[in-house]
Structure 1
Amino acid sequence: MYTTIIEPRVSETDGVGHINNTTIPIWFEAGRNQLFKLFMPDSSFKNWRMIILNMNVDFVDQIYFGQEVKVYTWVQRIGNTSLELYEEIHQENRLCARGTAVYVNHNLETKTSECIPEDIRVELQKHLK
């Protein structure tokens, strides 16, 4: 499991006093940065490999400004060319959002999916849920 701590910003708070729902997918993506580094160690968009195919979010409880949140990211499934993630956001030990995302290992130059390399696959297996 990967863990990312996020400090909510005032600008992410909506008129009813909780973090806006449009912010949650962005925080989930922030929780994937360590995974992105596996596929693109230099973080170069020129060499970008991870293309999102699907994302689902369940909003479970409200999130508020002024209290840090933790984003937990697990690998749920590893395919030949793709992987599925399971993610949760917690605030003060409360589950506030959960979701899934599917990414494919994609070669931008050839515009084709490629097998996930064995060394990356081994690292991903350490984070299976």
Structure 2
Amino acid sequence: MFSSIMEPRFCETDALGHINNTVVPMWFESARSPVFEIFNPSKDLTQWNLILRKIDVDFVAQIYYGHAVEIKTRIGHIGSSSFVCEHEAWQRNELVATGTAVLIYFDFDAQVKQQLSAELRAELEKIR
């Protein structure tokens, strides 16, 4: 598992005074950066090899401006060509959101999924 700290910005608040629901999926994507580096250490977009299949977010409590949010990320299920990132968002020691993202190891030139190598699987296992 690894952790990222997000500092909510004023522009991310909504009319109700809390962080807008569209922001949390972006925070979760940012928190997946270390996973992206496993597949593409330079994050060169011309060599990108992951595609997003599905995301979901469960909003557990309201999130507020002015207090940091810790995003905890780990790998859940690992399949033959895909894997699941699991996220938790914590603010002031309270779980405020959870979510998952299913990512597929993908060859964009051929437009087909690829099998995860033993080396990639081993790296993903390190963050379970």
Distance 1:46 1:31 in 2: 21
Q: Which range is displaced more, 110-119 or 95-104? A: 110-119
Does residue 1:105 correspond to 2:105, yes or no? Answer: yes
Instruction: Please provide the CA RMSD for this pair.
Output: 0.8
Paired letter, 1:113: K
CA drift of 1:92 comes to 0.7
Deviations 1:25-80 (A, max 9, x none): 00010110000000011101111111010111100001111111011111111111
Structure 2 alignment gaps of length 5 or more: none
Distance 2:112 2:2 in 1: 28
Alignment of 1:11-90 (within 5 A): 11-90=11-90
Helix, strand or coil at the partner of 1:53: strand
Structure 1 alignment gaps of length 5 or more: none
Does residue 1:94 correspond to 2:91, yes or no? Answer: no
Paired letter, 2:56: N
Distance 2:51 2:104 in 1: 5
CA drift of 1:125 comes to 0.5
Q: TM-score, normalised by structure 1?
A: 0.96
Tell me the number of residue pairs that the alignment of Structure 1 and Structure 2 aligns.
Answer: 128
Give the share of equivalent positions with the same residue, in percent: 39
Does residue 1:7 correspond to 2:19, yes or no? Answer: no
CA drift of 1:110 comes to 1.1
Paired letter, 2:91: Q
After TM superposition, which residue ranges in structure 1, 4 or more long, deviate above 2 angstroms? none
Distance 2:117 2:65 in 1: 40
